[in-house]
């Protein structure tokens, strides 16, 4: 800055078009320069909007999947680390698990927010969590919470009984 005797240790961009060229200022003057500097100065609202949209994807071109001659299934076939189809595999596992779930346990599992297969430890942990959350004493005697706790207790009893029946089979098998 003219008339400033301090050493210029701090850099600031010269302009919006030359962000890699710098002015060097002392701390006091770089703060004043940065406070007054406006990246969008001189741009129309449409140019500002275009710049902001380009910033949402780091100034790189984008296009919808399946365009530019590439199909998604081709990309999955060329995916040696199985990054692209991991979600598909997880959904497939969940679909199979849902199909293998015994019909009489689907409603109790849904009530507790659990999936099949299930361990007794997971069941107990989830039951304790829901019991604390929906206990009437924790909800100022709310009747709806009490009814919800009754439903949770029935679901827990059903699942606990079913897992207890399966435990001796697993121990002997």
State in Å, rounded, how far the first CA of the chain is from the last one. Answer: 85
What is residue 33's predicted lDDT score, i.e. its pLDDT?
Answer: 92
Q: 0.85 cut: is pTM over it?
A: no
Domain-wise residue ranges, the chain: 10-55, 64-100, 103-172
Alpha-carbon distance 170 to 173, whole Å?
A: 5
Strands (E), 9-168: 10-13, 22-25
Q: Please, what are the averages of pLDDT over each run of 10 residues along the chain (173 residues)?
A: 87 88 93 91 91 82 62 58 66 72 84 85 92 86 88 92 70 43
What is residue 53's predicted lDDT score, i.e. its pLDDT?
Answer: 86
Three-state SS across 4-48?
Answer: CCCCCCEEEECCCCCCCCEEEECHHHHHHHHHHCCCCCCCCHHHH
Q: Which fold has domain 103-172?
A: Helix Hairpins (1.10.287)
Alpha-carbon distance 91 to 114, whole Å?
A: 16
What is residue 10's predicted lDDT score, i.e. its pLDDT?
Answer: 94
What is residue 140's predicted lDDT score, i.e. its pLDDT?
Answer: 83
What is residue 171's predicted lDDT score, i.e. its pLDDT?
Answer: 43
Number of other residues whose CB lies within 10 A of the CB of residue 25: 21
């Amino acid at each position: 800055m003219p008339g400033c005797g301090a050493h210029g240790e701090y850099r600031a961009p010269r302009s919006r078009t030359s962000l890699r060229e710098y002015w060097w200022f002392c701390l006091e003057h770089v703060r004043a320069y940065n406070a007054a500097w406006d990246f969008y100065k001189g741009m129309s609202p449409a140019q500002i909007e275009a710049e902001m949209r380009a910033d949402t994807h780091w100034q790189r071109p984008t296009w919808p999947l399946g365009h530019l001659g590439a199909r998604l299934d081709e990309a999955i076939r060329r995916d040696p680390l199985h990054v692209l189809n991991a979600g598909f595999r997880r959904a497939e596992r969940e679909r199979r698990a849902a199909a293998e779930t015994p019909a009489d346990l689907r409603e109790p599992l849904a009530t507790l927010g659990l999936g099949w297969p299930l361990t007794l430890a997971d069941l107990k942990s989830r039951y304790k969590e829901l019991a604390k959350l929906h206990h009437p004493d924790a909800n100022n005697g709310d009747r709806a919470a009490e009814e919800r706790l009754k439903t949770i207790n029935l679901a827990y009893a059903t699942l606990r009984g079913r897992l207890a029946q399966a435990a001796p089979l697993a121990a002997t098998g």
